[in-house]
Amino acid sequence: MIAILFALPALTFSQVTPEEREEVTKIHQLIDQYSKARETRDTVLLKEILTEDVDQLVSSGEWRNGIRAAISGMMQSSAANPGSRTLEIEKIKFLTIEAVLVDCRYIIKGPSGEQRNMWSSFTVVFDKDRWKISAIRNMNPN
């Protein structure tokens, strides 16, 4: 009974419509794929899940424009900042049926145990037959 009481507000006041629930699952999978690709430095997977015109603003203030610059920068960043990367989705907001804003906690745990706690926002678009990442914004609130 208590579990139902806690779940009821989430079900009743959720921003996601019944039609969007299936898409939310696919978007979660996309963000998981991105996290995996970053951690394993899988450029093939990144090319599949990023749009050609992707742009990224990283916490240092550097802009990466286009898929080549984004992937190159991601690989350099992963090498310079080793560790496990976790993206925890906090909020998904459908702007249209083909454009979604995904806000995440972005946690990087380094090899010696240090932890960077940041925020990431992803603009995700439906491109042909699947969801892809079109823009990434990282912020370090410290």
In three-state secondary structure terms, 81 is coil
Whether 141 has a pLDDT exceeding 90, the answer reads no
Confidence of residue 82 (pLDDT cuts 50, 70, 90): confident
Percent of the chain, pLDDT > 70?
Answer: 89
State how far the Cα of 101 lies from the Cα of 24, in Å rounded to an integer.
11
Whether 13 has a pLDDT exceeding 50, the answer reads no
Give the mean model confidence (pLDDT) for residues 24-33.
96
pLDDT at 43: 97
Give the mean model confidence (pLDDT) for residues 69-78.
93
Query: CA Rg, the chain, in Å?
Result: 16
In three-state secondary structure terms, 139 is strand
Structure tokens at 52: 């050609």
On average, the pLDDT of the chain sits at 88
- Which residues touch 23 (CB under 8 Å, ≥6 apart)? 94, 100, 131
